[in-house]
Chain A
Amino acid sequence: MTKTITRRGVLVGAAASAAVSSNSLTSANASRPKTHEVRITQFKFEPDVVVVEVGDIIRWSNLDLAPHTATETSFGWDTGEIAKGMSKETVVTEDMGTRYFCAFHPHMKGTITIKL
């Protein structure tokens, strides 16, 4: 679990926290729900693990040319096709399946960790 922090990782992290703080400004004093951004780029979900709470929103944005999906492993939930440059969202529920893949490119996998 020791992961080298790359320069790129730090930059992405900084961008992500900037996005979160602007988000919390626009949503005034409501701290929930939080939106978690997952970028789909070069046939990967980034980050491949998102840590969320029930009621939060996960938004997948496709930066690839090819269309993708985020589909629960046993097809419990599914964003449907996310075309190039498009985003789809899903609301985190307590009983949702937490492992997902791209139905078009099954080697692409992601995990949702729900904090209790």
Chain B
Amino acid sequence: MKKTISVIAISAALCAFQASAQDVADLNDLEMAHVAYTADNIDIRYAHMALALSSNPEIHAFANTMISDHTAVNEAALGLLDKLGATAQDNFFSQALNDGAEQVINNFSNLRGVEFDIAYAANELAYHQTVNDLVEHTMIPNIDNDEVRALFQQGLEIFKIHEGHAEMMVKELTE
């Protein structure tokens, strides 16, 4: 029962930004950078929650990878913005992402044990699938700056690995 609820909450959180993919295409590079930075930070928050609430070593290993990889991407993004003398710009979509994350985190906080592990893994899979799709098909084709685009491409390569890893984790937990 709880599992159903968590899946619904995740879908609701993700629906909010699937519907607005068209508007995301209209964001400028600095707004897209802000979206990417926000998405990274959200995944880092989820990972810290997993470290606190799960006792499964596989979940811990995955969460630690999320923290180190997303931190690395964010550092690279900040380094690039600094080099370009620019600042990421907050926007409606970053805010929608944060609102969605609040819902997911509230939902996570009620779960323990295997229920939490499954919900975390399922959310990681859904989150990476949705964000990767958006980055690949909506954001990258609409980025103007070559260096910013290259960084997004590098990030996408990493996040696709995460997606595969999350997929395996979901399989193992639900078998």
Residues of A whose CB lies within 8 Å of any CB of B are 42-43, 64-67, 81, 83-84, 103-107
Contacts and interface: CB of A to CB of B under 8 A. Distances in A.
Contacts, number: 38
B16 interface: no
A67 B72 contact: yes
| Majority DSSP secondary structure for residues of B touching A | helix
A67 B158 CA distance: 10
B74 to A, nearest CB: 11
B148 to A, nearest CB: 14
B100 interface: no
Contact of B157 (A42, A83, A104): A42
Contacts of B164: 107
Which interface class (under 10, 10 to 19, 20 to 34, 35 or more) fits B?
10 to 19
Contacts of B155: 65
Interface stretch (B26-34, B63-71, B86-94, B120-128): B63-71
A65 B68 contact: no
B72 A66 contact: yes
B154 interface: yes
Contact of A84 (B64, B72, B157, B161): B72
| Majority DSSP secondary structure for residues of A touching B | loop
A104 B162 CA distance: 10
A78 B73 CA distance: 24
21 contacts: A42-B157, A43-B157, A64-B158, A65-B73, A65-B76, A65-B154, A65-B158, A66-B68, A66-B72, A66-B158, A66-B161, A67-B69, A81-B68, A83-B72, A104-B61, A104-B65, A105-B65, A105-B161, A106-B165, A107-B161, A107-B165
A116 B65 CA distance: 36
A103 B60 CA distance: 12
B76 A43 contact: no
Contacts of A43: 157-158, 161
Kindly list the 9 A-B residue pairs having the minimum CB-CB distance in the complex, ordered from nearest.
A104-B65, A66-B69, A66-B158, A65-B154, A67-B68, A66-B72, A43-B161, A65-B72, A65-B76
Nearest to B65: A104
A102 to B, nearest CB: 9
Nearest to B157: A42
Interface in B72-87: 72-73, 76
Interface string B145-175: 0000000001101100100110000000000
Contacts of B154: 65
